[in-house]
Structure 1
Amino acid sequence: MLKRKYGNRPDWQRIITRKSATAIEDTDRFRGDLTLLHAVKVTAPASFTYGEKEICIIDDGYTWLQQFPADANHSVTTMFDADGNVVQWYIDICLSNGKDEQGPWMDDLFLDLILLPGGELIVKDADELDEALDNQVIDQKLYDLAWKEAETLIDLIKKERFEPVRLSYYHKDKLEKTFR
C-alpha cells in the first residue's frame, strides 16, 4: 500500500508550535495546490548527511513549502532555514496528488530526488522502490512510471527548467503573507 502524505504534516510530533497556509495556484507556470508549514518551535532539530554534507532540514523558524502540481507524478517540498534560505528541494515521485478535507496530499511512490542549492542532485530510495516491486506493493507499471518521472525531472533540473524549483521563493512569499 502506498503512503498518503499531507502537506501540513498533521501527525508530525516534532513540531510543537506551527503556522500553516494553503493556496491554489492556476497560472501558465504552475497549476496545483500549495502548502506552507512554518515550524515556530520544534522538539529538536533534524539533519541528514549527503556524502560529507550535513544538512539541517528542520529547526525552530524553518519553513517547508510543498507544491502539489495538478496531473503530475511528483510533489516538491522546499525547505527554508530560519533566514529564508533554501536548504534543499525534496522531490517525491508519486502516483498522484489530490486534496480532501485534511488538505493537499500525495500518494508516495518511494523514489525521491534531492536537489541542493549548489546544484548537487541525489537520487534517493531507489532500493525502497525495488523492494516495493519485489514485495508486490507496486507492479511493474508503477515501477516504470516512477523511473520515467524521475528521469524526466532530472533532465528538467539539469536544464534549469523545472518550474516548481524556479517558483519556490515566489510561492513561499505568497503564502507567508497569509500568516500576517
Structure 2
Amino acid sequence: MAVKVKYIDKRHWRRLIEREYIEVKVNNKRFKGIIGLVTMNKVREPLEVTVVGKHMVVADDHYQWLQILPEKKRYSITAMFDDKGQPLEYYFDINIKNITQKGNARTLDLFLDVLVLPTGKYELVDEDDLMNALVNEQITKRQYHEAYMIAHQLMIEINDNFDELERRIMHCYRKMNQKKHKAKRHHHQAPQPQQRHKRKKRFTED
C-alpha cells in the first residue's frame, strides 16, 4: 500500500526556492504535538486556489504557513497567512497517522480535506481522491469510512466552535512569530569569541 507522506517543514516542495522554518514540541494540558512555522522568502510562482468559491493566492514571497500537528489525532492544520500576517485559509488534512518527531514531523495522508475561510465558511474536498485511493487499494475500506467520520467530526467542531478554534490558531501564530524574531535577534547579537589573555583568571565560586 503506497502511503502519501507529508513533512510539515515543506522540505520537498519544489515551489519553495528559499524558506525559513522553526518548530516547537508542545506538551501541556491544552495541546500535545508539534507546531511549525514555514516562512516563504521566495517562491518559483504564486499558488492560486479556490476555497468555498473564493479565488485567492495562498503561497507567495513572504507568505507564512503555520503547521499544527496534534499528537494521537487523525488530522493536522495548515493555517495560511499573507505577507501582512492576515489569515487566508485554514486547511485541515485528514490523516492515517501524525508522526510528531521533532525535526522530522510528518503525516500519513488520508486524502480527504476540510477547507475553511476566516469567515467560518467551510467545504469538504478531495472526495474523488479518496475514492480513487480505495479503488486502487492504496487505502482499506475501513480507512475510507474513517476519513469521512473524522471529517464530519471536524466540520461539526468548526460549525459550533469556529471562533475559539481561530483564536487558538492565531495565538499559536503570534507565539511562533515571536520565537522566530527572537531567534533572529539572538543570531545577530551573538557575542564574538573572546580573546584569550595571557594572565590566568582565578576561578571563584558563586
Q: TM-score, normalised by structure 1?
A: 0.93
Percent of aligned pairs with the same amino acid: 31
1:37 aligns with 2:38: yes
Q: Which amino acid aligns with 1:44?
A: E
Higher relative contact order (CA 8 A, sep 6+): 1
Counterpart for residue 144 of structure 2: 143
SS at match of 1:160: helix
1:56 corresponds in structure 2 to 57
Asked if the contact 2:51–2:117 (Cα under 8 Å) also holds between the matched residues in 1, the reply is no
Q: Is the 8 A contact 1:29 1:163 kept in 2?
A: no
Q: Does 42-51 or 88-97 show the bigger shift?
A: 42-51
Using the TM superposition, name which of 154-163 and 53-62 deviates more: 154-163
Superposed CA offset, 1:40-86 (max 9, x none): 12121111123642111101111001101011000000001111111
1:133 aligned onto 2:123: no
Partner of 1:114: 115
Asked if structure 2 preserves the Cα contact closer than 8 Å seen for 1:38 and 1:64, the reply is yes
Partner SS state of residue 119, structure 1: coil
Q: Which residue does 1:18 correspond to in 2?
A: 19
Amino acid at match of 1:21: I
> Structure 1 residues 25 and 100 mapped into 2: Cα distance closer, same or farther (>3 Å)?
closer
Name which one, 1 or 2, has greater alpha-carbon Rg: 2
Tell whether the 8 Å contact from 1:30 to 1:164 is kept in structure 2 after alignment.
Answer: no
Deviating above 6 A after TM superposition, structure 1's stretches of 4 or more consecutive aligned residues are none
**Contact 2:25–2:102 (CA<8 Å) still a contact in 1?**
no
Query: In the TM superposition, what is the alpha-carbon distance from 1:2 to its structure 2 partner?
Result: 1.6
Give the aligned length: 180
The alignment's TM-score, normalised by the length of structure 2, stands at: 0.82
Which range is displaced more, 94-103 or 76-85?
A: 94-103
Flag structure 2 segments of 5+ consecutive residues without an equivalent.
182-206
Instruction: Provide the C-alpha distance between the structure 1 equivalents of 2:34 and 2:58, rounded to a whole number of angstroms.
Output: 22
Q: Kindly provide the amino acid, as one letter, of the partner of residue 159 in structure 2.
A: K
Bigger mean CA deviation after superposition, 127-136 or 154-163: 154-163
RMSD of aligned C-alpha atoms? 1.7
Which range is displaced more, 150-159 or 22-31?
A: 22-31
Partner of 2:4: 3
Please tell me whether the aligned partners of residues 35 and 104 of structure 1 are also in contact (alpha carbons under 8 angstroms).
no
